[in-house]
Structure 1
Amino acid sequence: MMRQTVAGVLCAAGLLMCTGIRAAPAVPAALQQSAADDARFAAIHRAEWQWRIKERLARDESERGQVATDFERVDAASQAVRLAHWQGVLRQLDGIDPARLSAPEKINYQVYRAQIAAFVEELRFREYEQPVNADSAFWTDVTYGARQPFAKAEDYRNYLARIRHLPRYFNEQLDNMRAGLARGFTPPRVTLAGRDAALASVAGAAPEDTVFYTPFRTMPAAIPAAEQAALRAEAVAAIRTGVQPAYASVLAFMRSDYMPRARLALAAESLPDGKAYYQSKIVEFTTTNLTADAIHRIGLAEMAKIRAEMMETIAQSGFKGDLPAFLQFLRTDPQFYAKTPEELLMRAAWIAKKFDAKAGQYFGYLPRQRFAIRPVPPDQAPYYTAGRGGPGVYLVNTWNLPGRALYSLPALTLHESAPGHAFQMPVALEQKGVPPFRRAYISAFGEGWALYTERLGTEMGIYETPYEVFGMLSYQAWRASRLVVDTGIHAMGWTREQAQAYLRESTALSEHEVTTEVDRYISWPGQALSYYLGQMAIMEARAKAEKALGSKFDIRAFHDTVLQLGSVPLPVLAARIDRFIAEGGKSPYPKEG
């Protein structure tokens, strides 16, 4: 007796069409084309990503958590190769019709093409010839790795290999700076004052007192004592013979050549091909094609709205006097300033915990990663912003306490910690199934979200006094005024003093913050435009969804939809919220159970 097949059993049971098994239905031609285009696009970005890893411009997922052993090449020849490569990638991308891609790949395409286009523009204008501005520099960026805890001996050996390559990296940066200096492509001279201090703090100290020795001060007990001693000795030698001479060379160049000969003009439009250069920065940092004139007008209109809110808040506080008098009161009354760094840090921690009590009411998806609250390192603090946040950390600047107003701390904390940067970035990193280039940070989205959360604080009940509400409004005015100041400086001939006066008269920022912020805008064209334009896009998207969905609108589903995107150009955000509305305002995350 023959053994029955499974198919035979099913036929006998009437569960299959046994008079002839039907072929699978034909896949529509449009779907076949979409799948082919998706595959073609995937091949382009996957190959380019592997190239980035080879160039040390990105790291493979398998290397996550590993300490790097070298620095990328930044010499002119390497930059020329990268420009040619990315221009080739752009040509490949332009051969794809994004309308024929599937819905997820359309988003990926828009994000990826904008990213590659920004790389091309940066290299076309040879931005690598100016690796320093009032906010940061390559000699401060390289210290980041020294501030991270190491878990095993291999981490220390990798770190030692990396800092042994630092002289080569610094020499390439020096060559780039000389080339930039020769063609007038430098930060304005006025913004460089004091920026050599971080160089001097490394060049002139004992090796054990430099930031580069930080990982060796406390080492894991699992590493034998003899090995610890050997690693410490290697670190001292590497710092003394390689790192410190490299810092000394850059310090000497900065003081004797670069700072004295840096350009006097402030405007980006005064640089070589400056008008086109500034427009490229507007596109990069706002992800729009707005002109400087249009942005300037938006800023003036928004400032007028915020000024009206400020006057209402002053009245609620009971203060008798006009706006300038109120600003003077805020800047000088001792009640608004911490007495010790610890007090400032504890206040920040308290505000962050206040958000935790509200998180579930406003967000369905909460990131797994927590964040620490730490002071800004002392070698960076004098020229650092009031705070800065990201995955795992919220840095609070405890230097110059009379310049760190407590009435602004709630807005700062929401922006930099949760639900701002230290919340949004981990949510993006935790998304599954997205290509690695989607992990990149897009300023208009990220800064726009963080500024949006400052406004959200009023709904969440974070601000407890009219002074704290005014602090939030001052921060709103600070970001809206950037639209006026950045375009004023870089396209309309504003002076540094004019920009400072506008910020001073429009916000409650301390004098120290007014000075450091204006210098940041002067030396970093376009970046300051990200914040308010990004917030406006999110608020407009929310208003549209609330109107369209009515009682079906769920703030948690809206926030989850925005954050699930990761970091995208503003037009991509608008399109996603249109789909959110069309789908009835449902959450992007499946319900449990």
Structure 2
Amino acid sequence: MSLADEMFLALMEHAPLQATMLGVPGFDDRLDDLDVESEQKVRDRITALLRKAETDTEEDPVTLAVIRQQGTAAVNRIDSRLVEHTVGPGLGAAVNGLLLLAPRLDVSQRLDQFPRYIDQAAARVRDSDRRPLRRHLRLGVKRVDGVLAAPAQEWEGGHSAEIRAALGRYRDVLASIEDGRDDDKAGLCWLPDGQENYAKLVADYTTTSRTPEELHRLGLDLIAGLREEYAEIGSRLWGTKDVAEIFHRLRTELLWDSQEQMIESAVAAIARAEAEAPKWFGRMPSIGCQVLAVPEEEQRTSAIAFYQPAPADRSRPGTYWLNPLGATERSRTLSEATAFHEAVPGHHYQFSISGELDLPDMRKFAFIGAYLEGWGLYTERLADEMGLYSSDEQRLGMLGTDAMRAGRLVVDTGLHALGWSRQQAVDYLRENTVMTEPEIQSEIDRYIESPGQALSYMVGRLEIQRIRAEAETKMGDRFDVRAFHDLVVGSGPVPLSTLDQIVTRWADAP
């Protein structure tokens, strides 16, 4: 077995639920093991493989770079012990993440393991020296209470009684913790080894050497530049350069008339992108992308929009899921940018083409946030180059998503490295983005419970843009944007430093 296959097997056995999410076959009867001793055995196994990677001469350099990045990231996540203090409403929390994913994945073969997993999560929280945020303890209790008060869902199958009993035990652990952190100590820097853990997570998610302080300043500078773009489009659309007025109008006007209108807009945007894509990509996915509404029973706990890759056997297309809940209270300006990011030419092209490459599974399915989310955000601006936005109001939506990602650089580092309170982070997003109040509140909770993850979007976008610009300068008339995009998505997920090397070799070739 090659080193790449050894590392991939170790990572998938450590996170079999993620394997199912990625469409990797062979792990659908397993569930993650949260036991401390088990995690240390996994850590030892991955560390041994990382040592082998230092002297391996069989794997090619790109594959070795992916092995090192993915193995190091797994070790750092184990060391950060996030499971012990992430109990809130997002995917980052072990139990809530399981409850969110169970209706969307085939969990029928591992239902008997749910009680064990939930009890392990409860024990880790109960016995830790890293206390969760007090508000997240309350939200966790409320979430479980809601599940227990509702009728059994179809996914629970014949194990409903055991699963619900374990959820009750988990709920009691959360309710019993009286020394949760206050909102003014929301970040990792307030926890043991927090600064060190955060620095490692930042490196893992960005695959760059930029420090939290550098990223904080970068975010501030980007927000300032975006305000100028808002003023330019606002003056053209509404005759005003006042950014506060533009923000107010974006929050209160241009709302959807109906849920159906929201879905139809996404379908139309993706159709335009698919029609234009051959001018910008030489290689196309062999499978399409469908648009579906999140089922009604999942809408209250689902994200607004997300992409689900096609399974490895291509038994269904890639799926762009839209949550229509509260559509008439949401701005329609975000519709097209989100569709381009999540579907075409964003994650759908990325995941579909990667899955068709003749590469080791380690390369096909590597979860490298800066590459994956950086590409998604890159395609939002690429869509403007491609002429895909239907109006200036939709370009304002593009700026809105940019501002959210730039704001993440500021508030994520502010919370976890600079000691910001939760309220400071909320206030910053209120002033500098067009996000609604519920979105701001939920996003801040997400950043608190998934430290560093939110940095990957903008850092990745900027790096891909920089790499492209340098290749254009170097190649001049030889530069072919179709070949560049094929190279980026055709390399599979790689660290950004490795992508830089790949493109540099391509640009330098005669």
With normalisation by structure 2, the TM-score equals 0.90
Partner Cα separation in structure 1 for residue 380 and residue 120 of structure 2: 41
CA distance in structure 2 between the aligned counterparts of 1:46 and 1:242, rounded to whole angstroms: 36
* Counterparts of 2:325 and 2:411, CA distance in 1: 26
Counterpart for residue 271 of structure 1:
191
Question: Is the Cα contact below 8 Å between 2:187 and 2:416 reproduced in 1?
Answer: yes
8 A Cα contact 1:390 1:417, kept in partner: no
1:449 and 1:362 map into 2 onto residues whose CA distance is: 14
Q: CA deviation at 1:109?
A: 0.7
Which consecutive segments of 4 or more residues in structure 1 shift more than 6 A? none
Q: Which residue of 1 aligns with 2:418?
A: 492
- Describe the shift of the 1:495–1:388 C-alpha distance in structure 2 as closer, same or farther (beyond 3 A): same
Going from structure 1 to structure 2, the CA distance change for 1:105 and 1:133 (only over 3 Å counts) comes to: farther
- Deviates most, 449-458 or 396-405: 396-405
- State the secondary structure of the residue aligned to 2:221: helix
Give the total of aligned pairs: 495
Aligned to 1:386: 304
Structure with larger Rg: 1
Match of 1:152 in 2: none
Alpha-carbon deviation of 1:419?
1.1
- 2:45 is matched with which residue? 85
Aligned to 2:463: 537
Matches within 5 A, 1:103-502: 105-130=60-85, 132-136=87-91, 137-143=93-99, 144-148=101-105, 160-180=108-128, 183-186=129-132, 188-191=133-136, 193-207=138-152, 210-212=153-155, 235=157, 237-239=158-160, 241-254=161-174, 256-258=175-177, 260-264=178-182, 265-320=185-240, 322-333=242-253, 336-378=254-296, 381-382=299-300, 384-391=302-309, 392-436=318-362, 438-502=364-428
Select the residue among 36, 44, 54 that pairs with 1:76.
36
Work out the percentage of aligned pairs sharing the same amino acid.
29
| SS of alignment partner, residue 306 of structure 2 | strand
What is the CA–CA distance in structure 2 between the aligned matches of 1:464 and 1:403, rounded to whole Å?
A: 21
**Gapped runs of 5+ residues in structure 2?**
310-317
Amino acid at match of 2:52: Q
Whole-angstrom distance in 1 between the partners of 2:308 and 2:217: 32
Aligned to 1:25: none
Query: Distance in 1 between the 2:12 and 2:273 partners?
Result: 38
C-alpha contact 2:10 2:46 (8 A) present in aligned 1:
no
Are the counterparts in 1 of residues 90 and 96 from structure 2 also a CA contact under 8 Å?
A: no
Greater relative contact order, per chain length (Cα 8 Å cut-off, separation 6+): 2
**Which residue does 2:4 correspond to in 1?**
45
What amino acid sits opposite 1:178 in the alignment?
Answer: R
- Name the CA distance, whole Å, in 1 between partners of 2:344 and 2:60: 30
The Cα RMSD (Å) is 2.5
Aligned to 1:224: none
Q: Which runs of 5 or more residues in structure 1 are unaligned?
A: 1-41, 150-158, 214-234, 585-593
User: Structure 2 vs 1, CA of residues 484 and 346 (structure 1 numbering), >3 Å: closer, same or farther?
Assistant: same
Shift of 1:520: 1.4
| Counterparts in 2 of 1:59 and 1:323: CA distance versus 1, 3 Å | closer
SS in 2 for 1:316: helix
The residue aligned with 1:37 is: none
2:380–2:398: 8 Å Cα contact kept in structure 1? yes
Structure 1 residues 394 and 193: alpha-carbon distance in aligned structure 2, compared to 1, 3 A threshold: farther
The equivalent of 2:509 in structure 1 is: 583
Q: Closer, same or farther in 2 for the Cα pair 1:161/1:550, shift >3 Å? A: closer
Deviation at 1:534, TM superposition (A): 0.4
Deviations along 1:429-451, whole A, 9 cap, x unmatched? 11113243541211001110000
